[in-house]
Amino acid sequence: MLRSARELVRFRGLLATLTGREIKARYRGSVLGFLWSLANPLLQLAVYTFVFGLVFRPHGGALADPYALFLITGLFPWVWVSSSILEGSMSFIASSGLLRKAVFPLELLPTVAVLSNLVHFLLAVPILAAALAVGRGLGYAVSGWPALLLPAIVALQLPMVTGLVLGIAALNVHFKDVRDIVANLMTLLFFLTPILYPLEAIPYRALWWLVRLNPFTPYALGYQQTLFYGVVPDLTLWVQMALVALVAWAGGTWLFERLRETLVEAA
Amino acid sequence: MTEPEAGRVHRAGEPAAGGQGAVAPEPGGLEMGGPVAIRVDGVSKLYRRMAPGAKLATLKSALMGGTLTRGLDPGRSIAALEGLDFTVRRGEAFGVIGGNGSGKSTLLKLVAGILRPTEGTVEVDGRVAALIELGAGFHPEISGRENVYVNGAVLGLSRREVDRRLASIVAFSGLADFMDEPVKNYSSGMYVRLGFAVAVHTDPDVLLVDEVLAVGDEAFAHKGLRRIEEMLAAGKTLLFVSHSLDLVESLCDRVLWLDRGRQRMVGEPRRVVDAYRQSVAEAEGRAHREEKDEAERARAAAGEAAAGAAAGAGRSERRWGSREAVLEGVRMLVAGEERYHAASGDEMTFEMTVDASRPLDDFVFGVRISTPRGTECWGTNTHLAGHRPRRLAGRATVRAVCASLRLAAGEYFLDVAVHSTEGAPYDYWRHALAFTVTSTDRGIGVYFPEHRWELAGGVEWEES
């Protein structure tokens, strides 16, 4: 697990170049280009607000008012996480040409997927901030200075996501089934993470525990507390985020390390 | 996270395992002075079979702490390389030849450090540039220029280093007008040119080249070759894989012949290339003989049933005739010895064995040589030569002896036939055998007369 971290730091220049390439390539050839990074979250915001703000009214609406703002504080980071995992899991297969011709640390490729999606998330942060500011201006008691803790939570989630992606991507080289399993699992986990609803709004004890034990939940709570409610998360939540990050990184890099030698041949 | 004992690839500056200090003597090759640039020591490479069952086994052994690549049982793996042992000195041009699937590219990837050996060690001293699958890492959506930066970074150049070399890279690729186009609009030749340009600008000590010159157009192939020669002149080491045997022979100081993953021969280019050509020609001759036997058997099996009907009808696409006389065998003799490989100008004899079940008084023997693309090189028969038939009965041997057959280097097919004076075939055998001709002459065409150039007046050569 340390080896992967070391390699990523040592090759940070290449990591930055490859991430830049990924971001440039994404919107190349589209008319709006980079604006899609801003338009996408806005459109998501509109869709979810329409569906869950007007069509279905979720339980505990009072706990999350205005609902649209509550929603995006959880949703934007989730989009980063889930697209990182879905894209990252294919990274070795997608870049098999690169793997077979050059020598560089293989952990770069999945990490590039995580980082390029992180950039898209960070580009959406100003929209998030503006939306929250508007909410405050309209008299809602949302956000506050604890929102400045956002970088800390992102910093804790980054190794968690990267670890997961490393492990999944390595496994996916041998078993293409992984991709479909992960895609469905991510959909399930989305609903088992308190993003569309506040955790407190869950009526059943067992279900509450299920959601609370989901490894993605501490981060979602972290984002909501700092950004939406404007409170500093308590120590327990910080510890939980750090622990999940540690376990995911250790497990993911272990799996990656075990399969490292087979990747070039099999991809 | 422990480093495995076997299969290490040593980069520059890393100490060699096992404390090998002295340079091992070279088995069967020219001794060249100077330090070792590449040392391949007892190297084998097994690939896992990727059958569905094997995948689960891979996962299991990976997770349960198994050995993955090492100690694979033979049923689960394919040996791409076995027991390779050789060294390449700094400044040497080392060629690798062999048929498809003989492990040439695997060897290059092991030296490049992209793959790890299953057994043995590969040591490389200095920075390696691998001209393998050029342009494979290009991102289709972004521009040529941006890809130069990314590709350069992947090959170990910093942004500033690429900045400094960009003009030279662009000039070398000859793609100045296309640098801002996304590379998905490039032709495959343009891909290769750009990839080649970046790779040779990484300032390598060791250059690995895998058949890349064959991909671009003629002009670029020459440019690339010149660049390789310049790098050699500058003391760089070259590992050169190619199917172009003439190129290997002229460029390399030593040549390794790989035969189904085994090191068949290392040494002086001329000798190794010749031995390889001989073996290829023999294998082709064997294939032809086997095909012939097969046809014989099929004929024997079908013969009885349709003996009457088949007479005179086409027997196969490559063999036809009435079978009043049958060609039983065809051989090629070079200087009196059966061989399917000769140098241009050698004495070559084409020998056919013929069997006539009942005596014939009208018969002509013919031979015809053509290239695989169907160009007729030479053809004649006993009638044209003025021989009048009297009697052919039972078994006979007929030879066409060419005291000096001055064909250009290349592959040739021999057709043989026995037919009537009118031309009705008894047995026409197309592509009865294949043979290879080698030549030091570099011209085009199929025929090389002995020739020289003479000058008069205001023209002169460089002193040579």
Q: Answer left, alpha or beta for residue B200, where phi above 0 means left and psi between -120 and 50 means alpha.
A: alpha
Report residue B126 CA to chain centroid gap.
Answer: 28
Contact criterion met (CB < 8 Å) for A98 and B137: yes
- Measure B317 CA to nearest chain A CA, in Å: 42
- Measure B370 CA to nearest chain A CA, in Å: 40
Strand partners, B131: B209
For the record, the structure tokens of B224 come out as 């690339």
**The predicted structure's pLDDT at residue A253:** 94
DSSP B2: P
For the record, the structure tokens of B329 come out as 């065998």
Gyration radius (Cα) of chain B, Å: 28
**The predicted structure's pLDDT at residue B292:** 64
- Digit-coded pLDDT (tens) for A38-80: 788 888 878 877 887 677 766 555 677 788 888 889 999 999 9
**The predicted structure's pLDDT at residue B30:** 44
Of A17, A171, A262, which is closest to B150 when you measure between CB atoms?
A: A17
Residue B418: C-alpha distances to residues B295, B364, B401, B410, B424 (Å): 18, 6, 17, 27, 9
Most B-contacting residue of A26, A99, A265 (CB-CB within 10 A), to test interface: A265
**The predicted structure's pLDDT at residue B13:** 37
Task: Tell me how far apart the alpha carbons of residues B99 and B107 are, in angstroms, rounded to a whole number.
Answer: 14
Task: Tell me how far apart the alpha carbons of residues B438 and B289 are, in angstroms, rounded to a whole number.
Answer: 22
B448 touches chain A (CB under 8 A): no
Per CATH, which fold does B28-275 belong to? Rossmann fold (3.40.50)
Q: Which residues of A touch B139 (CB under 8 A)?
A: 21, 25
Task: Tell me how far apart the alpha carbons of residues B382 and B388 are, in angstroms, rounded to a whole number.
Answer: 8
For the record, the structure tokens of B384 come out as 């044209």
Task: Tell me how far apart the alpha carbons of residues B162 and B182 are, in angstroms, rounded to a whole number.
Answer: 19
A257 touches chain B (CB under 8 A): yes
Are A217 and A193 in contact by the 8 Å Cβ rule? The answer is yes
The ranges assigned to domains in chain A are 2-266
More confident residue, A88 or A141: A88
Task: Tell me how far apart the alpha carbons of residues B447 and B445 are, in angstroms, rounded to a whole number.
Answer: 6
Q: What count of residues does chain A have?
A: 267
Residues 208 through 267 of chain B touching chain A, CB cutoff 8 Å: none
Are B244 and B220 in contact by the 8 Å Cβ rule? The answer is no
DSSP B205: S
Strand partners, B82: B262
Percent of chain A exceeding pLDDT 70 equals: 96
Are B81 and B43 in contact by the 8 Å Cβ rule? The answer is yes
Task: Tell me how far apart the alpha carbons of residues A138 and A65 are, in angstroms, rounded to a whole number.
Answer: 12
Which of A181, A153, A167 is closest to A77 using CA atoms? Answer: A153
A139 touches chain B (CB under 8 A): no
Sole residue written with tokens 């497990």 = A251
B50 touches chain A (CB under 8 A): yes
Sole residue written with tokens 């040779």 = B200
Contact criterion met (CB < 8 Å) for B113 and A103: yes
Task: Tell me how far apart the alpha carbons of residues B148 and B163 are, in angstroms, rounded to a whole number.
Answer: 10
φ and ψ at A170, to 5 degrees?
A: -65, -40
Task: Tell me how far apart the alpha carbons of residues B337 and B156 are, in angstroms, rounded to a whole number.
Answer: 55
**The predicted structure's pLDDT at residue B310:** 40
Is residue A233 reached through a cis peptide bond, with omega within 30 degrees of 0 on the bond before it? no
Task: Tell me how far apart the alpha carbons of residues B324 and B233 are, in angstroms, rounded to a whole number.
Answer: 65
Beta-sheet pairing, B364-370 with B348-360: unpaired
A10 touches chain B (CB under 8 A): no
**The predicted structure's pLDDT at residue B136:** 67
Task: Tell me how far apart the alpha carbons of residues B319 and B368 are, in angstroms, rounded to a whole number.
Answer: 14
Q: In chain B, what are the helix, strand and coil shares in percent, each to the nearest 5?
A: 30, 30, 40
Task: Tell me how far apart the alpha carbons of residues B263 and B40 are, in angstroms, rounded to a whole number.
Answer: 11
Mapped onto helix, strand or coil, the DSSP state of residue B280 is: helix
B9-10: strand order across its sheet: B9-10, B119-124, B36-48, B77-89, B262-267, B254-259, B93-97, B237-241, B206-210, B128-131
DSSP B321: S
Do B321-438 and B28-275 have the same topology in CATH? no
Of A25, A29, A104, which is closest to B154 when you measure between CB atoms?
A: A104
Strand partners, B341: B436
Task: Tell me how far apart the alpha carbons of residues B280 and A211 are, in angstroms, rounded to a whole number.
Answer: 68
For the record, the structure tokens of A132 come out as 């929250």
Are A227 and A150 in contact by the 8 Å Cβ rule? The answer is yes
Task: Tell me how far apart the alpha carbons of residues B128 and A103 are, in angstroms, rounded to a whole number.
Answer: 10
For the record, the structure tokens of A35 come out as 């604006």
- Digit-coded pLDDT (tens) for B420-464: 888 888 999 988 888 988 887 777 788 888 888 888 998 988 876
Q: State the sign of the Cα–Cα–Cα–Cα dihedral A264, B231, B235, B28.
A: positive
Beta-sheet pairing, B128-131 with B341-343: unpaired
Most B-contacting residue of A3, A6, A21 (CB-CB within 10 A), to test interface: A21
| CB proximity list for B354: less than 8 A, separation 6 or greater | B325, B326, B327, B328, B365, B392, B395, B396, B397, B398, B418, B427
**The predicted structure's pLDDT at residue B49:** 67
The continuous run of DSSP H or E covering A249 comes out as helix A235-266
Specify the CATH number of the domain B321-438.
2.70.50.60
Q: Largest alpha-carbon pair distance within chain A? A: 60
Task: Tell me how far apart the alpha carbons of residues B247 and B244 are, in angstroms, rounded to a whole number.
Answer: 5
Of A28, A102, A262, which is closest to B142 when you measure between CB atoms?
A: A28
Task: Tell me how far apart the alpha carbons of residues B180 and B162 are, in angstroms, rounded to a whole number.
Answer: 16
Give the CA count within 13 Å in the CB-facing half-sphere of B286: 6
Task: Tell me how far apart the alpha carbons of residues A213 and A197 are, in angstroms, rounded to a whole number.
Answer: 16
Mean pLDDT check: name the lowest of A188-197, A233-242, B65-74, B203-212.
B65-74
B64 touches chain A (CB under 8 A): no
DSSP B143: B
Could you count the other beta carbons within 10 Å of the beta carbon of residue B79?
A: 17
Q: Along the 464 residues of chain B, how does pLDDT read in single tens digits?
A: 333 334 444 443 333 333 333 334 444 444 456 788 999 999 998 887 665 555 666 666 666 654 544 444 555 678 889 999 999 999 999 999 998 889 998 999 899 888 888 889 999 998 888 887 776 678 888 889 988 988 888 888 888 999 999 999 999 988 999 999 888 898 888 888 888 888 888 888 999 988 777 766 778 888 888 888 899 899 899 999 988 888 888 889 999 999 989 999 998 888 888 788 878 877 776 776 676 677 667 666 655 444 444 444 444 667 888 888 999 989 999 988 888 888 888 899 999 999 998 899 999 999 999 988 778 889 999 999 999 999 999 999 999 999 998 998 888 999 999 998 888 889 999 888 889 888 877 777 888 888 888 889 989 888 76
B380 touches chain A (CB under 8 A): no
The ranges assigned to domains in chain B are 28-275, 321-438
Give the CA count within 13 Å in the CB-facing half-sphere of B227: 26
Are B206 and B124 in contact by the 8 Å Cβ rule? The answer is yes
Mean pLDDT check: name the lowest of A196-210, A211-225, B200-214.
B200-214
Residue B308: C-alpha distances to residues B305, B323, B326, B349 (Å): 8, 11, 16, 35
Q: Which residues of B touch A103 (CB under 8 A)?
A: 112-114, 128
- Measure B176 CA to nearest chain A CA, in Å: 21
A170 touches chain B (CB under 8 A): no
Are A230 and A145 in contact by the 8 Å Cβ rule? The answer is yes
**The predicted structure's pLDDT at residue B245:** 85
B106 touches chain A (CB under 8 A): no
Q: What count of residues does chain B have?
A: 464
Contact criterion met (CB < 8 Å) for B1 and A2: yes
For the record, the structure tokens of A218 come out as 């501490």
Q: Which residues of B touch A170 (CB under 8 A)?
A: none
Give the CA count within 13 Å in the CB-facing half-sphere of B151: 36
Task: Tell me how far apart the alpha carbons of residues B277 and B291 are, in angstroms, rounded to a whole number.
Answer: 21
More confident residue, A238 or B337: A238
**The predicted structure's pLDDT at residue B301:** 65
B297 touches chain A (CB under 8 A): no
